[in-house]
A = this chain, B = another copy of it.
Amino acid sequence: MMIILRPNTQQDKITQLENYIGRLGGIEIQHIQGQDTTILGLSGDTSRIDPGAFDMFEFVERTMKVAEPYKKANRKYHPENTVINAGGVEIGGKNIVVMAGPCSVESEAQVLSIARDCKRAGAAILRGGAFKPRSSPYAFQGLGMDGLDLLSIAGRKTGMPIVSEIMSTDHLEVFDREVDIIQVGARNMQNFVLLKELSHLRKPILLKRGLSATIEELLMAAEYIMAGGNDNVILCERGIRTFETYTRNTLDLSIIPVLKRQSHLPVVVDPSHGTGLWWMVESMSKAAIAAGADGLIIEVHNDPPHARCDGQQSLTPLVFSQLMRSLKAIAQVEGRDI
């Protein structure tokens, strides 16, 4: 951490600040004397220090963090890729994992039919929404516990592990029992109470990036889960909010190489929510694999115009199976399998 002082700060002020830092304990101070500026460089365990604290001394101009605040999620301390086993499927290894299924579970027939189509086309994991975060209280909110049961049945019948979104800490136990991967939605990425609860499980967590979350914030959300002991975190890019209105979100594929460099955790991309438009899913899926993603999560619906949510971003099973064929070709070039 660097504390930049205002020009011509008197020595007695500097001493006052040094004494303050001294009382924090375990921090070593070094001076850099520039032309107009004195800088104090702090080393030691600075992760407990709030960088804003120093700004209260009126002779402090600015404080800059140097060290990354995430430790367990940081590749610096864990150079090897983390490979996560979710119901027998490895995520983060050589295989690219495609998770597919309906935005929301609507009936046993629907989810089973879609699950079979997805499996046939090569999907490894079945996704499906039971509890749906909707921006309107008047919109369909998902089938809830019944939806989770139906998804679970479809998973068992097709032999696919399942992933579904949790919205409440009240459902921790049932999710831990029923699903193979617990999804944390974008709007809950900084629901710290939920993250802490999930940190006590050993279940894989698919952590979606918040709508305006920085890379560091996404990794700090992962750190919350890992700090409590659950190392099975899968990071998921699903589009960020920008000024553009043509697409629902701006899918940020540039985060893939950054996450791969900064962290050892697997990275999955959601081109369905990331764009909000079904006809963009193919090109964005291919690009995600070319950029180094470990997996994809894609919405598939047997009858998109009658889907109870997000029909406009769902693929039909036919389009999905064509997509899988083109993904295999790209994966091969990248030295990976699907």
Contact = CB atoms under 8 A, between A and B. Distances in A.
Interface stretch (A92-100, A148-156, A213-221): A213-221
Contacts of A274: 254
Interface string A282-321: 0110111111100000000000111111111110000000
A287 B280 contact: no
A61 B36 CA distance: 26
Contact of A292 (B67, B227, B257, B283): B283
Contacts of A322: none
Contacts of A167: 192-193
A291 B33 CA distance: 36
A142 to B, nearest CB: 11
A297 to B, nearest CB: 16
A247 B252 CA distance: 12
A237 to B, nearest CB: 11
Interface in A181-208: 187-188, 190-193, 195-196
A244 interface: yes
Given A187-B191, A287-B290, A246 B215 contact: yes
Contacts of A2: 2, 39, 64, 66
A335 B192 CA distance: 42
A199 to B, nearest CB: 8
Nearest to A261: B279
Nearest to A247: B254
B257 A135 contact: no
Nearest to A221: B135
- Looking at chain A's contact residues, is the secondary structure mostly helix, strand, loop, or mixed? mixed
A257 B243 contact: no
A133 interface: yes
Contacts of A187: 190-192
Interface in A220-276: 220, 223-224, 227-228, 240-247, 250-254, 256-258, 261, 274-276
A240 B332 CA distance: 31
Interface stretch (A42-50, A82-90, A113-121, A122-130): A42-50
Given A41-B32, A311-B53, A47 B136 contact: yes
B286 A290 contact: yes
A137 B245 contact: no
A22 interface: no
B57 A284 contact: no
Given A37-B66, A261-B279, 4 more contacts: A53-B307, A64-B66, A138-B227, A250-B252
Interface of A: 2, 4, 7, 20, 30, 32-37, 39, 41, 43-45, 47-48, 50, 52-57, 64, 66-67, 69, 76, 133-140, 167-170, 187-188, 190-193, 195-196, 211-212, 214-217, 220, 223-224, 227-228, 240-247, 250-254, 256-258, 261, 274-280, 283-284, 286-292, 304-314, 326, 329-330, 332-333
